[in-house]
Amino acid sequence: MDKNNKIPFDEDNYTHNINKSNERKLDRRGFMKTMVGAAGLFAVSTLPWGSIAATELMGLREKKYPKKEIIDVKKLNIGDAFEFAYPTDHDSALLVRLGENEYKAYQNACTHLRCPVFWEQSKSELVCPCHHGFFDVKTGSPTAGPPRRPLPEITIQVEAGKIVATGVKRYET
């Protein structure tokens, strides 16, 4: 071979590699490892982790909620709203008195991007000022704007002249 056609290092030429068979063995072992890994992954992926996680995240499991006194009935006039926290001190909520014995309460984080929702008494609707989202006060369903899901409703009852929160309704799809 002339100068330009020369193979510079023997090691670079695979066909001259004396460890070729050993290399093949390693390849086979590597391949088997990959297969074992893939089988393991397949086994794990067929377990119902996804549905277990989804159940937890979507709150489909029955939850226990504390009873919490919100306000004395006499302190809330018909047509007025009252802000409170439920089920934890970090969950802002809104109670609206719609009639003599008609109350509605929702978690007041807008289902679009979680801005607080306000009670617009003159129009009888719940309004999110962030991107002009509107919700029906009787159902919590979005009526206009970007929100697509209803506000989670808080169940309430009247006990001894007090309005009491008893739970958060499951989100129905």
Q: Does 128 bind ligand FES (CB under 6 A)?
A: yes
User: Residue 127: which of 139, 144, 102, 113 has the closest Cα?
Assistant: 144
Contact 158, 75 (CB under 8 A): no
Our finding on whether 131 is near ligand FES (CB under 6 A) is yes
Report if residue 115 touches ligand FES, rule: CB under 6 A: yes
Q: How far apart are CA 97 and CA 158, in angstroms?
A: 12
Which one of residues 76, 85, 98, 112 is an interface residue with ligand FES (CB under 6 A)?
Answer: 112
Whether the Cβ atoms of residue 132 and residue 118 lie closer than 8 Å to each other: no
The answer to whether the CB of 119 falls within 8 A of the CB of 96 is: yes
Give the residue, chosen from 38, 39, 41, 113, that forms a contact with ligand FES under the rule CB under 6 A.
Answer: 113
Task: Tell me the Cα Rg of the chain.
Answer: 32
Piece in contact with ligand FES (CB under 6 A), picked from 73-81, 84-92, 99-107, 128-136: 128-136
Binding status of residue 151 toward ligand FES by CB under 6 A:
no
Query: Contact at 8 Å (CB) between 136 and 98?
Result: no
- Residue 152 touching ligand FES (CB under 6 A): no
The minimum distance between CB 93 and ligand FES, in angstroms, equals 16
Distance, CA of 144 to CA of 43 (rounded, Å): 45
Size of the site for ligand FES (CB under 6 A): 11
Contact 145/134 with Cβ under 8 angstroms? yes
Shortest CB 134 distance to ligand FES, Å: 9
Cβ distance to ligand FES smaller for residue 58 or 144: 144
Residues that bind ligand FES (CB under 6 A): 110, 112-113, 115, 128, 130-131, 133, 145-147
